Structure 1
Amino acid sequence: MNRNFLKHEFAITSKSRRNIPFIVFLFVFLLGYCFIILPNKETKETFDPVETRDYLEELQVEQTFREEKGTTGINKMTGVPVYSVNANNYKLFHGMLTAYEDHDYNRFLYLRTHYLEWNMSEYVGDVSLFKHSIFPGKDRAHLYNQTMLRFEDYLKNDYTISNEMIQEKTGLQVLQNLLLNYGMYLFLFCVIYFSSDILTRDRQYRTVLQGLPLSWYRLLNLKTLSIFLYSLLVLAGVILVGVLVISLQFGFGSFDMKVPVMIAQQLFTLEDYDVITIAQFLLKSLSVIPIMVYLFIRLNVVLSLLLKNEWLVLLVSSLILFSERLYLTRTSRELFGIDISYFPQTYFDFGKVVTSEKNFLLNTETITYMKGIFVLLIMIAIIECVLLVVSRLVNKRRFYHSS
């Protein structure tokens, strides 16, 4: 009976008129991102050969002018040997341009890294970066440090460096950045949508369900398991298709490539950083998805029993998912006088927890991987206790009779 009911629930979910259009939209959006948005996306490390040629021409004109005027020494006002600096920059950028056009990205990256080592202002002084941040200087220095750690890893190891790797457009790198940004929220919203009608969709079968030889609590558990398996299957499909499509265009990347992580919040220099492999990052980030999927499905079961309306369940559960965005600022480290590391919503974007990006953004060291797992499991235990009580108050007869 349990197996048959589970198969029946899975079939209903997979054939749902609500879910099929949503999944189609999800994959259309995914393909649109892979084929349209990502190829045209520019980063700080996007190299523009036309702009570089113009810069070299302007630099050559300036150098010629200085030679004619005899101003090739040190600037008396600033103490900077401008002519010498310009000559060095000309060699570097000409070398980068030549390497880029020859597709010799190992040499290109070597020259780019050498340039950035002596020109931190390329990042820190770029006012277009993080212009809406309340700590722009801190964020620019953070991005600079992360970039240097990535480039040093590429040069030290035996990778076939590509332009897409430098811009983080390979399959694994895109997945990594997705999990570091809004990917977790997207995945969890999908789960909320799939499970928002977990009980209310059965109103047309209320007579049949009331006659099933299954206890109410077991029925809720089987429904949970069905949505849980369905959600993980869809999310796995989205991730695999996305990585495959991107990899066919820009390469797969390597599981050994390094991801910068913060190990301290003291000097805000490279000494505060370490690296882990992309494999370690993905393992830690993706392993938490089943926990959070289960958490939101059980939460939706409780909300369904109480609200008896799928759209209200979707609304309330979505508000809980995005609740952190309503109160969190770069200076928020407590909520109701309690450290935010003890609230489950702090860990919904778990990728940032794995790299300690969350700690960096809030200038704290209390948000950790193990604490996140512990807090989420405690939250599941609380929801389970609430569900046990609510399912007895709102039993099968009362739920379907009042629907």
Structure 2
Amino acid sequence: MNRNYLKHEFLITARSRRTIPFVFFIAVLLFCFCLILWPYANTKEAFNKKETEEYLTYLGDQQKLWRSIGNTGIVFEWISVNYYRQDGHPVYAANARNYELFSGMLKSFEDRDFARLLNLRTFYLLHNPDEYLEDRYLFQTVPFPSKDRKHAYYQTMMKYEDYHNKDYPVTFGLMYEKTGLQTLQNFLQNYGVYFLLFCVIYFSSDILARDRKHQAVLQGLPLSWYRQLNLKSLSAFLYSMAFIISFIVVGVLAMTIQFGFGYFDLNVPIMIQQKTFTPDDYSVISLGSYLGKTLVIIPLLVILFVRLNIVLSLIFKNEWIVLFTSSLLLFSERLYFSRSTKELFGMDISLFPQTYFDFGKIIDGEKNFLLNTETITYAKGILVILITYLVIEVMLYIVSLIINKRRFYLAN
């Protein structure tokens, strides 16, 4: 009976008129992201051929001007108003070096020689950190732009150093993080877990409310009310996990076909402390470890929200109210989040479960960096989520005793 009921619930969810259009919509979004958006997404490190050509033209005109006036272009800059000290650099020589460097980058990009392009770009950034640190368009809307620019610079240099140290061929996909595994990493680091959990909430929001349309049949099932709730939860959990696995596999496969699979031993920069705001505050973990530590938490978050939806369904008896309430709890952190929020109701922010729903930002220390704290850790995240799950289980048991099967189905 248990097996047949579980199968029955699973198939109802899979064949639901709510589920099929939603899955189709998600599939369209996935293919649009993998085939259109992400392959052509521009980041700070994206090579812009047009801008490079315009910059080379500008440098060429500047060099002609300097030669026409017979001046090497020594520019003096005052270092201190208290001393007669000056510092300068030969603009003509600097322009000549940049012209050769950017010409080499352009030629490498056109020839698809990304190993040489990586060498030239790394050399340029190593000697010109202001490309990040003084870019006023980078992170211009955040509260701490200087801090974020420095953070991005260190992360970029650590990634490029790792590409140099590995023996793997440098391809477009590897350099610009578009391989299958790197795309999955970026997805999980940028609110991907939120997206997957919202899908779980949608799938499980009606697993109880839909039965109220078939009261005569279901009230006579030879199953206890609590076991029936457990089997419904298990069916929703299994369907949600099947969806998440399929989503990840199809997405990684789509990116692999275009840019390659990637490598599990690539380094992912992580922030281990915030003391000096130098490279000493950083370390690395392998890409495989990052993905494993993130993905292993997803089943726990899935069952947590499935059980939460059961509790809300017993209370509200309406799938749309359940969907709204559960989604509000999922995204509740966004209601109070700020870069200076370290406490909520007088308690450390690391003690609240919503801090860990976006688990992709926990492992690499990004959540600590954003909140300017060091109290949010991987181990604490697992503990807080487990405690939250146990609290929800106790709530479900109590609510199921108060709102029994007869009371649930006969309520108006």
Relative to the length of structure 1, the TM-score reads 0.98
Amino acid paired to 1:47: F
Residue correspondence of structure 1 range 235-314 to structure 2 within 5 A: 235-314=244-323
Within a 5 Å distance, the mapping from 1:150-189 to structure 2 comes to 150-189=159-198
Identify the residue that residue 349 of structure 1 maps to in structure 2: 358
Equivalent of residue 234 in structure 1, options 226, 231, 243: 243
Deviation at 1:40, TM superposition (A): 2.4
Q: Which letter maps to 2:29?
A: F
* Structure 1 runs not aligned, ≥5 long: none
1:126 to 2:128 alignment? no
Question: How far apart, in 1, do the equivalents of 2:280 and 2:91 lie?
Answer: 32
Instruction: Give the percent of matched residue pairs that are identical in Structure 1 and Structure 2.
Output: 58
> SS in structure 1 opposite 2:42?
coil
- 8 Å CA contact 2:191, 2:360 repeated in 1: no
Q: Deviations over 1:229-287 (max 9, x none)?
A: 00000011111111111111122211111111001101111111111111111000000
Aligned residue type for 2:226: Y
Is 2:368 aligned against 1:368?
no
- Bigger drift between 252-261 and 75-84 goes to 75-84
The CA distance in 1 between the partners of 2:295 and 2:73, in whole Å, is 57
Instruction: Specify the alignment match of 2:21 in structure 1.
Output: 21
Q: CA deviation at 1:212?
A: 1.1
Equivalent residue runs for 1:4-403 within 5 Å: 4-72=4-72, 74-77=74-77, 79-403=88-412
The answer for the alignment partner of 2:84 in structure 1 is: none
Shift, 1:221, TM fit? 0.5
Which one-letter code corresponds to 2:41 in the other structure?
A: K
1:64 CA drift (Å): 2.6
Unaligned runs of 5+ in 2: 78-86
Q: For 2:141 and 2:148, how far apart are their aligned partners in 1? A: 11
User: Residue deviations 1:133-177, cap 9 Å, x none?
Assistant: 011111111111111111110111011111222221111111111
Corresponding residue SS for 2:88: coil
Q: How many Å separate the matches in 1 of 2:53 and 2:341?
A: 46
Runs of 4+, deviation exceeding 3 Å: none
Q: Secondary structure of 1:39's partner?
A: coil
- 1:73 is displaced (CA, Å) by 5.5
The residue type paired with residue 54 of structure 2 is: D
Specify the SS of the correspondent of 1:80. strand
Pairwise CA distance, 1:53: 2.2
> What SS is found at the alignment partner of 1:259?
strand
Separation of aligned partners in 2, 1:252 and 1:332: 38
Distance in structure 2 (CA, Å) of the matches to 1:22 and 1:176: 24
Q: What SS does structure 2 have at the residue aligned with 1:40?
A: coil
8 Å CA contact 2:66–2:73 kept in 1: the answer is no
Provide the C-alpha distance between the structure 2 equivalents of 1:221 and 1:283, rounded to a whole number of angstroms: 28
1:69 CA drift (Å): 2.2
1:45–1:167 CA contact under 8 A, matched in 2 = yes
Q: Secondary structure, in 3 states, of the residue corresponding to 1:23?
A: helix
What's the TM-score once normalised by structure 2's chain length?
0.96
CA contact (8 A) 2:271 2:369 kept: yes
Shift of 1:318: 0.4
Moved more, 11-20 or 33-42: 33-42
SS in 1 for 2:139: coil
Could you tell me how far apart the structure 2 residues matched to 1:56 and 1:384 are?
A: 64
Q: Distance in 1 between the 2:150 and 2:358 partners?
A: 23
- Report the counterpart of residue 2 of structure 2 in structure 1: 2
Q: CA deviation at 1:48?
A: 2.0
Deviation larger for 75-84 or 37-46:
75-84
CA RMSD of aligned residues (A): 1.1
1:333–1:339 CA contact under 8 A, matched in 2 = yes
Residue 240 of structure 2 aligns with an amino acid whose one-letter code is S
Amino acid at match of 1:64: K
CA–CA distance in structure 2, aligned partners of residues 234 and 266 of structure 1: 42
Secondary structure, aligned partner of 2:96: helix
Which residue identity lines up with residue 5 of structure 2 in the other structure? F
Contact map agreement 1:45 1:166 (CA 8 A) in 2: no
